[in-house]
A and B are shown apart, each in its own frame.
Chain A
Amino acid sequence: MRPTTDEIGAIAASLRDHGYVADRALATALFLSLEMGKPLLLEGPAGVGKTEMAKVLAAHLGVKLIRLQCYEGLDQAQALYEWDYARQLLRIRLEGESAKDLDERERDIFSDAYLLRRPLLEAISAKGEPPVLLIDEVDRADEAFEAFLLEVLSDFQVTVPEIGTITAERPPRVILTSNRTRELGDALRRRVLYQWIPYPTPDREEEILHSRLPGLSRRLGREIAMAVGALRERALAKPPGVAESLDWARALLLIGRGFLDEDSIRDTLSCLLKDRDDVIATSAEEILSLAQSVPGQAAP
């Protein structure tokens, strides 16, 4: 039976209840990912809410979130499993010249008791309701690790040579995120559904601000959304993401401002711009001018 469009709307509404404002395209991609049982790859600039999406999805489904943070040099041992070397060594020393034969000693120390489950194995071997597995910033991992992920995401099973093959009872819901610091391979892309998350429009950014910070005044929310949106159009080293605009709004709330002026911008600029060159190149006066510009028109 085909769902009505309300089911996608219901997902968007539930995400909104958890503080995440998703547009129709993202809600549809999420719906299809859950329905088709395929991982969802979220790409977009830093700070647009890709990681937050996975957290909110776990909250929406009421399941555990398991996070694998990728970085250069990440290998299978850190992502999948490791043996508890210290305990194994201790066991070998304690047994000393025991009468056990070699096979038996090996079986003992390479048993489940000494296995440290890392995020991928933890997600695959989870019992009950499948968790949300967040593979964060997969573009930071090496290509070799990406190739390894292909295997895991295809079959949701892993083989620990000393123990055997472990297969997921029910595959986890997988969200991958990428900031595009490296282009991901076609083989990985073929195994996932894909959604690009751009910077929000000023209207949507305003909506996000009010959703996360109910105490924010209408005027301040609008001014922040306009200023941040215009700053992203500039050639900044670190354009502010949604996380920065939320931080900036929180800071302005904390110092009791209901609207922007040059002093408040100067006092809180560190929440918005995180690069020295950007701070030097952007004056409080300019930001105020951007904040007060009319949508669709360039700031004076």
Chain B
Amino acid sequence: MRPALLDLASAMRAQGHPGGIGETIDAVRALCALDLTDPEDVRLGLRTAFARSHEAGEAFDRLFPLFLGGRLPRLARAQPASGIPGAGEGEDAGRTLVAVGEKGEDSFEALREAAGTTGTEGGPDLLLDPSRPMLQAAALWRRALGTRPSRHLHADRAASRLDVRRTLRVSVGSAEMWDLRWQGPRPDPSNIVFVIDGSRSMARDAERYLAFSRSLLDVVGHTEVYLFSTELVRLTPSLGGRRRDRPTELTGLGHGFGGGTLIGEALTSLLIRDGGRLLGRRTIFVMASDGLEAGDPDLLGRAARAVGERSGLFMWLNPLKVDPGYAPLARGMAAALPHIDVFAAGESAAALGALSSRLRFAR
């Protein structure tokens, strides 16, 4: 049982979820406490030990039948893992996120082929010209978001609220009977996560959204930008810290640009890699995509639900929506739609700026 447990832990890691020594020890302890003749108890016990989040629970449910049937790939302890894409230790282990239990490696490759993974190594270059209308649109967003004070207090000489604890501490050992100390609320800025679909079908529109996201980064700050096609690429370091009046060259986008569309995978990857750090009640999550999903629409639906639940506002910019006759009937778009707070086209700098009036936290 124990080597098999290590394989299960490895498979959980390969799906991007915790499956380290702590989880494995908990699994052994759980099995010691349970009646092993009851398969349901074994399942529930291992689930409790391994699944430390709702998404991890769903991954466990896919993997457990393979575990029971002895069909999990052997752990990469002896040789590089096969069967589960990305299996093994390290940062790359969590990158490949396809549902292994049902699809396996072959279907994963087929999925990539179907999605048209034609992005080349080194990738196409993009040149983003600075644009005054985009900067003005970003300025509207900054004004709408503002900053509100947190309820968390910190030491602040200019504030008007007495910090009794620190005042007392100082006063005990001071010749001055009352050496007053003050505290006030610290600022609590909101943040923006901007995810842009760089697939072939978005070729005409992605550059506009990239230019706007760069302007947001310049003007608003607290913005993270990602680009994806069949792989998610974090663009913030490439976009940030540049002079506003200079064009930005984007190189080496690889599978993040110009290929097929795996929206669900990209969102899931982002949630697992950076979701804990980025998402919260004060997060504006913007997805710019036409919603023409080549992957599993159910995976996209689940990821969209998680984004909706974990961010303050979920905005989806779909350039197709500019057409009055457009209806979000594509399977991917339909799966995501119930979880979206603002659904718009953002077809120009002016339209993007006008969206500032809809920046209200939905949760």
- Chain A residues packing against B (C-beta within 8 Å): 2-5, 8, 24-25, 28-29, 31-32, 35-36, 38, 41, 43, 71-73, 75, 77, 82-83, 85, 88-89, 92, 102, 105-106, 109, 142, 144, 180-186, 189-190, 192-196, 235, 237
Contacts and interface: CB of A to CB of B under 8 A. Distances in A.
B51 A194 contact: yes
A5 B48 contact: no
Contacts of A102: 172-173
B173 A36 contact: no
Interface of B: 18, 20, 22-23, 26, 29-30, 32-36, 38, 40-41, 44-45, 47-49, 51-54, 56-57, 150-153, 164-165, 168, 171-173, 275-276, 279-281, 309-310, 338-339, 362-363
A36 B40 contact: no
B52 A32 contact: no
Given A25-B44, A32-B33, A235 B18 contact: no
Contacts of A144: 152
B168 to A, nearest CB: 6
Contacts of B29: 36
B44 A24 contact: yes
Nearest to A34: B33
A83 B165 contact: yes
A247 to B, nearest CB: 22
A268 B292 CA distance: 43
B41 A8 contact: yes
Given A5-B38, A5-B41, A88 B275 contact: no
B33 A36 contact: yes
A85 B44 contact: no
Nearest to A234: B338
B221 to A, nearest CB: 19
Given A2-B33, A3-B34, A182-B310, A29 B281 contact: no
B52 A194 contact: yes
A181 B165 contact: no
A73 B151 contact: yes
Given A2-B33, A5-B35, A181-B363, A77 B165 contact: yes
A186 B276 contact: yes
B309 A180 contact: yes
